[in-house]
Amino acid sequence: MFIRFFFIIFIFINCSNTVSSDITSNIDVDNGEIGTSSLESTSTTIFFSSPSSTILKLLPIITTTTTTVPQTTTTTTVPQTTTTTTTTVPQTTTTTTTTVPQTTTTTTVPQTTTSIGVTVANNGFSTNVYFLNGNQDATINVTEGNKYRFDLSDSSNSGHPLRFSTTQNGSEYSSNVIANGIAGTPGAYVEIEITSSTPNRLYLYCINHFGMGGDTVILTP
What pLDDT is stored for residue 33 in this prediction? Answer: 41
> Which residues in the chain land under pLDDT 70?
1-89, 92-93, 98, 100, 105-109
Domain boundaries, the chain: 2-46, 113-219
Tens of pLDDT, residue by residue over 155-173, are 999 999 999 999 999 999 9
Among residues 133, 111, 129, which one has the least CA distance to residue 120?
A: 129
CA pair distance 72, 41, nearest whole angstrom: 62
Among residues 159, 157, 154, 137, which one has the least CA distance to residue 204?
A: 137
Sign of CA dihedral 17, 18, 20, 24: positive
Give the CA angle between residues 124, 130, 133 to the nearest 5°.
Answer: 105
Tens of pLDDT, residue by residue over 189-207, are 999 999 999 999 999 999 9
What pLDDT is stored for residue 40 in this prediction? Answer: 41
CB 142 within 8 A of CB 220: yes
Cβ burial, residue 129 (10 Å; 0-12/13-18/19+)? buried
What pLDDT is stored for residue 99 in this prediction? Answer: 75
Q: What is the CATH architecture assignment of 113-219?
A: Sandwich (2.60)
